[in-house]
Chain A
């Protein structure tokens, strides 16, 4: 099965332009807050209407502006797990799950089945506010699965949980999702969650979607500046392509050699903080930097470095080292660092 989404919606200063195909399994939708992630899910579920476009689930048209199709949410069979779970506060757990069962005659059996599958026996008579965050999520998921959806939309499912609960709930959800046969959209702003939960990912930046890519590609070779930023990279410089196939990092004042010549659209270059290495002297892809600040973290040391030609705080390079390695360097005021060619990421705008 697959979920095909191609929609536009104009909201004054903000414009949503999303297009992707999610196949069976978990597809991440990664974006900063306010980039249109939730709005996209709402359009797919049918509680918001796009201005134009086409939404198709397994060959079934849910929305098509040109053909004037706009199925109500009731007939889309798309499950939506809300950030705050949206359990009905006036109903018990049992009534909440029953609310998800469409067929009245099948209700008792379906509730019993979900109760057993989600270990909710002890919660049945309780109200949502009497449950822990993890239990609430389980009830919400049980309620959704009771309605037999053909696709699942998960809107930041862990953002309402305390961090010590998160890990456990995440593991449990992962297990449940593996048993689900249709496409699952997993919306989040956390690159860690995407890395752990998803197979493929679509980056959403300022209302625009980027092509779906395997998760490994996002972290190893992101395509665009925004994707790279969302994947957690901290060091960026504007870049200019040189005739000899090298790349001039304008903000770092350095010409870089890459394993392969970058594409013509390359406008930026990035490198992750833990790939920067102290070097013993001048050489290829090396530059001498002034140490501006040293930040001690829990398990590592982050060193903020100013390149010779750099201007201001924005172009500082971040180097992340194991604590012992930094200590062994003897707190220098300046040092040579290497930007290894294989770790450089040429990036496009967007």
Chain B
């Protein structure tokens, strides 16, 4: 069995998760602070990829990054870099599709953060940066990690946009999901089944991780007096 699709899927998911981890937190941090109208509009725009069919996302990405489109052309001429039909093209697809999951869970975590903690720290003379790194991030850690794991899972399973922007080239752009489709289409039912099982195993592990993160969040600790 050629393990390239597994390796490729994992690296695409890892890179795009790393990317949206920071972008999602950044977006969530600022959107929470926006006035209501701006917040509503930004929220719709940033969540849209979650509800759009991945093929629509793929279409938009091709319009932007295709070799004859402005951005794609500029990259091609400046760096001799193709942004489509190469393995890393799938990173754009899975990042865009998985971004809302990271953004929304991070936003939820920030919104449930007790703002009085930030106020208290500031009246004690602590800087806003200190509040963010030493209080807010640790308090929201579980929510943010859960968001990252979910995004990773979504990025790993991305098919529609990936197929459009990276295509399927064995040993080059093949991912688990595109391989399953390709093997099934060409009548290799057994091969497809093997990759389906691999995918199932990874997804189960990921969901297990999310559940454990959430449970740790909720586990109550008894007050000292009762011990």
Contact residue among B126, B221, B223, B224 (Cβ-Cβ distance under 8 Å from A99): B126
Is B121 among interface residues, defined by CB-CB distance under 8 A? yes
Cα A188 to Cα B8 in complex, Å, equals 62
The distance in angstroms between the C-alpha atoms of A89 and B141, with both chains bound, is: 12
A106-163, CB < 8 A from B: 123, 126-127, 129-132, 135, 143-144, 147
Nearest A residue to B115 by beta-carbon distance?
A: A47
Taken together as a complex, chains A and B put the C-alpha atoms of A93 and B222 apart, in Å, by 16
**B122, B127, B138 — which one has the most chain A CB atoms within 10 A of its CB?**
B122
CB distance from A179 to the nearest CB of B (A): 20
Binds B, one of A79-87, A256-264, A325-333: A79-87
Closest chain A CB from B133 CB (angstroms): 11
Across the interface, do A147 and B117 meet the contact criterion of CB distance under 8 Å?
A: no
Is the beta-carbon distance between A80 and B123 smaller than 8 angstroms? yes
Any chain B CB within 8 A of the CB of A74? yes
Q: Contacts of A135 on B, CB cut-off 8 Å?
A: 224
Per the 8 Å Cβ criterion, residues 112-163 of B in contact with A are 114, 116-117, 119-127, 134-135, 138-139
Contact of B125 among A90, A129, A130, A147 (CB under 8 A): A147
The answer on a CB contact under 8 Å between A130 and B223 is yes
Tell whether, in the assembled complex, residue A132 and residue B119 are in contact, meaning their CB atoms are under 8 Å apart.
Answer: no
| B residues near A127, Cβ cutoff 8 Å | 221
Instruction: Looking at the assembled complex, report how far the CB atom of A234 sits from the nearest CB atom of chain B, in whole angstroms.
Output: 35
B223 touches A131 (CB 8 A): yes
Q: Is B225 among interface residues, defined by CB-CB distance under 8 A? A: yes
Checking B125, B135, B221, B223 against A88 with a beta-carbon cut-off of 8 angstroms, the contacting residue is B135
Q: How far is the CA of A99 from the CA of B134 in the complex (A)?
A: 10
Residues of B within 8 A of A47 (CB): 119, 122-123
The one of B116, B122, B221 in contact with A73, judged by C-beta atoms closer than 8 angstroms, is B122
Q: Which residues of B contact A132 (CB under 8 A)?
A: 223-225
Would you list which residues of chain B between 90 and 130 have a CB under 8 Å from chain A? 114, 116-117, 119-127
A73 touches B223 (CB 8 A): no
* Distance (whole angstroms) from the CB of B23 to the closest CB of chain A: 24
CA distance A135 to B225 in the complex (A): 10
Chain A interface residue count, Cβ-Cβ cutoff 8 angstroms: 34
- How far does the alpha carbon of A159 sit from the alpha carbon of B82 in the complex, in Å? 64
Q: Are B123 and A99 in contact, with the CB atoms below 8 A?
A: no
Partner of B119, one of A80, A88, A144: A80
| Alpha-carbon gap, A72 to B128, bound state (A) | 11
* Residues A90 and B114 in contact, CB atoms below 8 Å apart: no
When distances are taken between beta carbons in the complex, the residues of chain A under 8 Å from B117 are: 86, 88-89
Q: Which residues of chain B are within 8 angstroms of A102 by Cβ–Cβ distance?
A: 124-125
| Chain A 50-104 interface residues, beta-carbon cutoff 8 Å to B | 72-80, 82, 84, 86, 88-91, 99-100, 102
- Complex Cα gap A33–B119 (Å): 21
Q: 1/0 per residue B200-224: CB within 8 Å of A?
A: 0000000000000000000001111
Does A42 have its Cβ within 8 Å of any Cβ on chain B?
Answer: yes
Q: A19 in the interface, Cβ–Cβ < 8 Å?
A: no
- Rounded to whole Å, the gap between the CB of B77 and the closest CB of chain A is 48
Provide the residues of chain A in CB contact with B135, threshold 8 Å.
88, 90
A99–B121 touching, CB < 8 Å: yes
Q: Report whether A126 and B224 are in contact in the complex, using a CB–CB cutoff of 8 Å.
A: yes
Q: Which residue of B lies closest to A76 (CB)?
A: B123
Is there a chain B Cβ closer than 8 Å to A35's Cβ?
no
Closest to A143 in B: B124
- 6 smallest beta-carbon distances between A and B, as pairs: A86-B120, A90-B138, A73-B122, A86-B116, A47-B119, A130-B224
Given A100-B125, A102-B124, 16 extra CB contacts under 8 A = A45-B123, A73-B119, A73-B123, A74-B122, A77-B125, A78-B123, A80-B120, A82-B119, A86-B120, A88-B120, A88-B121, A88-B134, A90-B139, A91-B134, A127-B221, A130-B223
Which A residues contact B (CB, under 8 angstroms)?
A: 42, 45-47, 72-80, 82, 84, 86, 88-91, 99-100, 102, 123, 126-127, 129-132, 135, 143-144, 147
State the B residues within 8 Å of A (CB): 114, 116-117, 119-127, 134-135, 138-139, 221-225
* Interface pairs (27), CB distance under 8 Å: A42-B119, A73-B119, A73-B122, A74-B123, A74-B127, A75-B125, A76-B123, A77-B125, A78-B123, A80-B119, A80-B120, A84-B114, A84-B116, A86-B119, A86-B120, A88-B120, A88-B121, A88-B134, A88-B135, A99-B121, A100-B125, A102-B124, A126-B224, A129-B221, A129-B223, A130-B222, A130-B223
